[in-house]
């Protein structure tokens, strides 16, 4: 396996050699000029690539309190640039140390990817970096909680409250964030791609309930107490629907 | 047309991605950082100060103070007993009821039969509880709003009177209740 990784990294450096040809023009002595057309075939496929994230459904198999589906797509606009988007929905219940809550909602992330990888002729793999802007619309329900009291004279710390003014659904919540994306997509079979990406996210705006802060935002993932940064990962299988070809 | 090497390469990449896709949710979920409750204050105790009835701005230390909480089933929980004289104490309040009752004994001691001696008074604090969600690390904490204090009158009260100075109990930085005695 390491042999192939080495080759992949070498391909990055070698890729710039030997793909393009220059247009040649010869002017003959007679009055009819000869021009030679570029014989390089149109090999770059442009089209719409659609797929699904597999990481979320697999997590859902492992964790029965988590259900999420994400569809991904991108559309090539130049040799190196793609506009890209992901959309998904989340139904997640989490038992934290002091309370139990459910997040329900959907999200959309849109932006672009830049393919830094120089493909050999006929190949269309990607090693890319990109950015997204994300938006979520969701609700958060507090299901149960214990009261935090450093003084446990009355042993109330284990009592779980399941009814009361705090136990309800808080809806109309949303979040807006930006992401930096780094990922790989490899073409495995004809137009079928598999890939994964890592994301660094920063929460820009947060519409939350006064009584119950946003702890988890669909598409952004866990919101920390101490910072606006978050992270994410997806792992996709997608299919390129070719529309046209260019050089 | 792909070479045999490219096919093997594709299969290896596919296998790697499959394993990564299955392993990563398990790995990433176990990397969760446990949030610690670092907020201060959380659920506060009641701060009671002991003052002189005649000179009401002056602290009047209580010697050998012994405080027990008595619940509705008449079970006692010892809160504090001190051999040094104190001018203020912290009292926990029950969060699932709207009152907590204390027996405060000045010059506390026990006689030869083990009966409690000293100046014994009973105080009941009445309040409303407000629960608030603070953060992921802390969850929900309780604050209290004092509505009143009942001092059970008997032949011999050492507590002359009480005053609610700060009815909103959300931290322990200031005295909430003053107890005046001679």
Q: What is the mean pLDDT of chain B?
A: 85
ipTM of this predicted structure: 0.79
Decide if A142 is inside a domain. yes
In a domain, A17, yes or no: no
Chains A–B, number of C-beta pairs less than 8 Å apart: 121
**A8 occurs within a structural domain:** no
- SS3 call for B23: helix
For B33-88, what is each residue's pLDDT tens digit? 566 787 778 899 999 999 999 999 999 999 999 999 999 888 888 888 888 899 99
Q: Which residues in B40-54 are b (16+ Cβ under 10 Å) and which e?
A: eebbbbbbbbbbeee
Asked if B23 is an interface residue toward chain A (Cβ–Cβ < 8 A), one would say: no
- Contact (CB<8Å) B140/A58: no
CB-CB under 8 Å, B96 with A159: yes
Q: Residue A162: pLDDT band by 50, 70, 90 thresholds?
A: very high
**Residue A42 burial (10 A CB sphere; 0-12, 13-18, 19+):** exposed
Q: Which domain holds residue A154?
A: 42-246
- B13:A147 CB<8 A: no
Question: Using 50, 70 and 90 to split pLDDT, how confident is the model at A23?
Answer: very low
CA distances in angstroms from A124 to A18, A237, B34, listed in the order given? 16, 15, 42
Rounded CA separation A117/B161 (Å): 82
The answer to whether residue A196 sits within a structural domain is yes
- Beta carbons of A91 and A64 less than 8 angstroms apart: no
Q: Where in chain B are the domains? A: 1-32, 46-181
Phi, psi for A71 (deg, rounded to 5):
-105, 145
B contacts of A148 (beta carbons < 8 Å):
37, 42-43, 134, 138-141
Q: What's the pTM value of the predicted model, to 2 decimals?
A: 0.78
Beta-ladder partners of A88: A70, A107
Which strands sit side by side in the sheet containing B116-135, from one edge to the other?
B76-81, B66-70, B99-110, B116-135, B139-151, B168-169
The distance of A145 to chain B (nearest Cα, Å) reads 7
Is the pLDDT at B9 greater than 80? The verdict is: no
At residue A189, the pLDDT reads 87
Which whole number is the average pLDDT over B96-109? 92
Contact with chain A for residue B99, Cβ under 8 A = no
The verdict on A120 touching B (C-beta cutoff 8 Å) is no
**For residue A16, what pLDDT is reported?**
45
- Mark yes or no for CB contact B133/A148 under 8 Å: no
Helices (H) and strands (E) counted in chain B, each on its own, are 1, 10
In whole angstroms, give the CA distance from residue B180 to residue B169.
20
pLDDT tens digits, one per residue of A128-144? 999 999 999 999 999 99
d(CA A96, CA A101): 8
CATH number at residue A220: 2.40.160.20
Domain count, chain A: 1
- In three-state form (DSSP H/G/I as H, E/B as E, the rest C), the secondary structure along chain A is CHHHHHHHHHHHHHCCCCCCCCCCEECCCCCCCEECCCCCCCCEEEEEEEEEECHHHHHHHHCCCEEEEEEEEEEECCCCEEEEEEEEEEEEEEECCCEEEEEEEEEEEEEEEEECCCCCCCCCCEEEEEEEEEEEEEEEEEEEECECCCCCCCCCCCCCECCCCCCCEEEEEEEEEEEEEEEEEEEEECCEEEEEEEEEEEEEEEECCCCCCCCEECCCEECCCCCCEEEEEEEEEEEEEEEEEEC
Alpha carbon of residue A79 to chain centroid: 21
Please, are residues A131 and A197 in contact by the beta-carbon 8 Å criterion? no
Domain-embedded: residue A33: no
Q: How confident is the model at residue A236 (pLDDT cuts 50, 70, 90)?
A: very high
| A21 in a structural domain | no
- Residue among A139, A125, A227 at smallest CA distance from A183: A125
Q: What is the DSSP letter of B16?
A: H
Q: How far apart are CA B175 and CA B89, in angstroms?
A: 9
């Amino acid at each position: 396996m390491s042999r192939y990784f080495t080759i992949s990294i070498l391909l990055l450096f070698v890729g710039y050699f030997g793909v393009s040809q220059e247009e040649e023009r010869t002017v003959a002595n007679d009055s009819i000029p000869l021009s030679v057309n570029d014989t390089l075939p149109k090999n770059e496929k442009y089209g719409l690539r659609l797929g699904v994230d597999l990481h979320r459904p697999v997590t859902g198999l492992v964790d029965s309190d988590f259900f999420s589906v994400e569809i991904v797509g991108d559309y090539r606009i130049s040799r190196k640039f793609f506009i890209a988007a992901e959309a998904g929905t989340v139904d997640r219940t989490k038992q934290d140390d002091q309370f139990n809550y459910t997040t329900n909602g959907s999200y959309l992330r849109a932006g672009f990817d830049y393919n830094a990888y120089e493909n050999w002729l006929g190949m269309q793999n990607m090693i890319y970096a990109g950015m997204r802007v994300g938006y979520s619309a969701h609700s958060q329900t507090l299901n149960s909680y214990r009261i935090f009291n450093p003084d446990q004279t009355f042993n109330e710390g284990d009592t779980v409250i399941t009814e009361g003014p705090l136990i309800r659904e808080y809806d109309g919540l949303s979040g807006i964030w930006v992401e930096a994306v780094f990922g790989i997509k490899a073409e495995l079979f004809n137009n079928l791609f598999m890939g994964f990406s890592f994301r660094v996210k920063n929460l820009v705006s947060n519409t939350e309930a006064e009584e119950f802060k946003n702890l988890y935002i669909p598409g952004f993932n866990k919101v920390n107490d101490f910072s606006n940064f978050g992270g994410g990962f997806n792992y996709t299988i997608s299919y390129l629907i070719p529309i046209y070809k260019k050089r | 047309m792909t070479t045999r090497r490219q096919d093997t390469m594709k299969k290896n990449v596919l296998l790697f991605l499959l394993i990564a896709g299955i392993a990563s949710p398990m790995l990433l979920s176990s990397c969760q950082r446990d949030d610690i409750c670092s907020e201060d204050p959380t659920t506060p105790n009641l701060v009671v100060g002991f003052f002189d009835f005649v000179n009401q701005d002056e602290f009047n230390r209580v010697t050998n103070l012994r405080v027990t909480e008595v619940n509705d089933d008449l079970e006692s929980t010892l809160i504090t007993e001190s051999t040094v004289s104190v001018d203020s104490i912290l009292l926990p309040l029950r969060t699932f009821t709207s009152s907590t009752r204390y027996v405060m004994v000045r010059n506390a001691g026990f006689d030869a039969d083990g009966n409690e001696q000293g100046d014994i008074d009973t105080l009941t604090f009445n309040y409303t509880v407000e629960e608030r969600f603070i953060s992921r690390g802390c969850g929900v904490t309780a604050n209290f709003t004092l509505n009143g204090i009942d001092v059970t009158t008997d032949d011999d009260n050492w507590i002359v009177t009480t005053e609610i100075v700060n009815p909103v109990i959300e931290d322990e930085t200031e005295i909430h209740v003053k107890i005046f005695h001679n």
